[in-house]
Structure 1
Amino acid sequence: MATNGQIVTVFGGTGFLGRRIVQHLRSRGFAVRIASRHPDQGYTLPGADDPQLQSVEANIHDGRSVADALAGAYGAVNAVSLYVERGAETFHSVHVEAARRVAVQAHRAGVKKLVHMSGIGADTASPSRYIRKRGEGEVVVRAAFAEATFIHPAVMFGPDDAFLVVILKLLRQLPVYPMFGRGETRLQPAYVDDVADAIGRIMQRTETPRVFEFGGPRVYSYEELLRVVAHQAGLAPRLIPVPFAAWHAVAWAAEMLGSPFLTRNQVELMQIDTVSSPDVPGFAELGISPHSVEAILQKMLSNSGG
């Protein structure tokens, strides 16, 4: 499919995943409109003087603002996410209300393709508020934009993530590493650039499945992942299991602080396996061979000097 400079609006285009989506869309010939609340405080893309790359101010909580950002767009990607609730910024306001707003305005604007970022296991009946709101968000988006494509990535990793980088830092700093539970939770980490590449390919295709699940090439238990990261970094940590009840207590106390280092929601997520289903289209459907944690971690370590 020729893109002919068609515009794709990316909400959350300055974030961890969003800025990579922008790069992959540009590499496929799309003009990209990066919609964010503070466009002047974002990052600088390579080729930021590119006339086919535009940053606009947009507030996903304001319908008019969203509509302006979508005017004349061929496609839209909602990559806005929230992991810690603060004041009016709640899982419901971002993952349900704002998701509906983007979908409604995209439909009104005549947008042809809407890609909505969600997560593996999104479920309206989940006991986890985060996962439940992700599920509710999908329901309202589908009601407003029937042809929307939903993306379910596993936990994403990359050089500037809040996952592998944090694990590596803690493994280096702590003589004893406290694990979530017995370290049995199953994870299938996906390289963030692979997910962004997938979005670019989906936007370029005329017909695609309505749901994709993206997991990396290997499923680890949490303990296995910790040992892989430690081995790559030349570390030999002592891993000790810590009951989830204790983590919930720590998170509850941390939430009393202004900026908690851990929330009960994050603890809940570590109790749930995040593995892609073999019955749902994924990277293979799009011709992508996903990168392994080991390969990317090796690059990260060599770039940082070990």
Structure 2
Amino acid sequence: MKIAMTGGTGFIGQAFLSAWSRQAPPSEVRLVSRHPPRAPLPSFARWYPGNVTDRGSLAPVFDGVDMVLHLTGILAETKSQSYEAIHVDGTRNVLDASKAGRVSRIIYLSAIGASRTARSRYHRTKAEAEDLLKNSGMDVTIFRPSVVFGKDDKFLNLFAGMGKTLHVLPLIGDGQSRVHPVWVNDLVESVLESMKQPETVGRTYQMGGCRIYTYHELMETLKRSLHFRAIVLPQPETLLRVVAGMQEALLPVPFLTREMVTMALEDNVADPNDLVVSFGKSPYPVEAYLEGEFSSKKE
């Protein structure tokens, strides 16, 4: 099987390559992204420069492949990248290039909370991308994960670094919104299983982890598991929106955006949790990861 993967040089894309390296890999994996991979690729993988906003860069990569893994997405907008351009127009380009290349199936990584009526444009554009795929006439499977953690993630690594160096773990609002962190390997293994199961075509799966936390509980778990002292500090929503607006105006890549504030105030929970219900897995706990693999790599 030949597979093309958008966003393949990112955190989740690299987890797919690692998983394939541990088992029988596809005959060829084509990674298409704007930036080259930072680490050497396994022998079955090859990088192609391209961008989902440029259909012409996708067409030669998709030509002759059996399946496309569409992983590209952005959490924070920049002056050069909007949610509409990446999630909606990018998915439309992926579809057009897939049809031109006679691709038989697309698997799309969306997000829990994707809805046309969501408060955040992030989730509304994810839903619009899903609708494009569902109405395309192609064989499509959609995965909606909660926050994904694992090696090189931008979530636990970020907060662990802040807690250890600044001794402060800031919360957006009162920290009572809920999140359902899922280990990247659990997510990847489920996607790989779905590739072998024709009955997963046309399905949308919500993927959560072992436990639902409030953000406040998750920060306390981080402190306890990694053995550092830090103040968990709730921040007023109004203040954070002002700070985020200033960053959007002044920084090329803002650390915090107003959309991110909106998303952090909403629950992000898999209901049902298809990792368990549909794929029969026992999710890897955040605590086990923090006290094991995460701590080992920091030593």
TM-aligned CA deviation for residue 175 of structure 1 = 4.1
Contact 1:38 1:57 in 2 (8 A): yes
Aligned to 1:29: 25
Distance 1:110 1:90 in 2: 29
Aligned to 2:263: 269
TM-score by length of 1: 0.90
Change (3 A) 1:114 1:173: same
Change (3 A) 1:35 1:250: same
Change (3 A) 1:114 1:303: same
Distance 1:60 1:219 in 2: 33
Change (3 A) 1:291 1:161: same
Change (3 A) 1:145 1:28: farther
Aligned to 1:214: 207
Structure 2 residue 125 is matched with structure 1 residue 139: no
Aligned to 2:156: 164
Change (3 A) 1:107 1:71: same
Q: Larger deviation: 59-68 or 12-21?
A: 59-68
Structure 2 residue 177 is matched with structure 1 residue 177: no
Change (3 A) 1:283 1:241: same
Map 1:111-260; keep pairs closer than 5 Å: 111-208=103-200, 210-258=203-251, 259-260=253-254
Structure 2 residue 35 is matched with structure 1 residue 38: yes
Distance 2:275 2:169 in 1: 33
Distance 1:295 1:117 in 2: 25
The amino acid across from 2:105 in the alignment is K
TM-aligned CA deviation for residue 70 of structure 1 = 0.9
Contact 1:75 1:114 in 2 (8 A): yes
Task: Give the ranges of 4+ consecutive aligned residues of structure 1 lying more than 4 Å apart after TM superposition.
Answer: none
Which of 2, 5, 8 is the equivalent residue of 1:10?
A: 5
TM-score by length of 2: 0.92
Gaps (5+ residues) in structure 1?
1-5
Which of 39, 61, 65 is the equivalent residue of 2:53?
A: 61
Distance 1:29 1:174 in 2: 42
TM-aligned CA deviation for residue 283 of structure 1 = 4.3
TM-aligned CA deviation for residue 162 of structure 1 = 1.0
Change (3 A) 1:240 1:101: same
Contact 1:107 1:145 in 2 (8 A): no
Which of 71, 75, 78 is the equivalent residue of 1:86?
A: 78
The amino acid across from 2:112 in the alignment is I
Aligned to 1:3: none
TM-aligned CA deviation for residue 127 of structure 1 = 2.1
Distance 2:172 2:210 in 1: 23
Root mean square deviation, CA, Å: 1.8
Structure 2 residue 101 is matched with structure 1 residue 109: yes
Contact 2:187 2:275 in 1 (8 A): no
Aligned to 1:301: 295
The amino acid across from 1:173 in the alignment is T
TM-aligned CA deviation for residue 59 of structure 1 = 2.4
Contact 2:88 2:126 in 1 (8 A): yes
Identity rate, percent:
29
Change (3 A) 1:110 1:206: same
